[in-house]
Amino acid sequence: MKIAVSSDLHLDLNHADVAEIITQQAHYLTSHGIDHYFFVGDAFNDFEQTSAYFAELQSQLPTTKVHYLAGNHDMLKGVTYE
């Protein structure tokens, strides 16, 4: 089993092309035969964007399971207590 872990992309603060990053990340994970990818916080400063990002990434990775945790920045906007 191969596992990959990353964090702190801060895609909105870095003004990244999100669609291009998803394409590149999906290619990397697929080409390296990653079974589980764990992202451990701070993709965006908005939980709704974070959630949408990982849903789209998962849709491009049929053989890799994507897991993510919201970091302190992800929790700044677009999330409720529930």
For residue 82, is pLDDT > 70?
A: no
CB atoms within 10 A of CB 36: 14
pLDDT digits (tens, 9 = 90+) for 19-67: 999 999 999 999 999 999 999 988 888 888 899 999 999 999 999 999 9
Question: Taking a C-beta distance cutoff of 8 angstroms, is the pair 67, 39 a contact?
Answer: yes
pLDDT at residue 65, rounded to an integer = 98
Positions of E strands within the chain: 3-6, 36-39, 65-68
For residue 76, is pLDDT > 80?
A: no
For residue 77, is pLDDT > 90?
A: no
Vertex 44 angle, CA 31 and 42, to 5°: 75
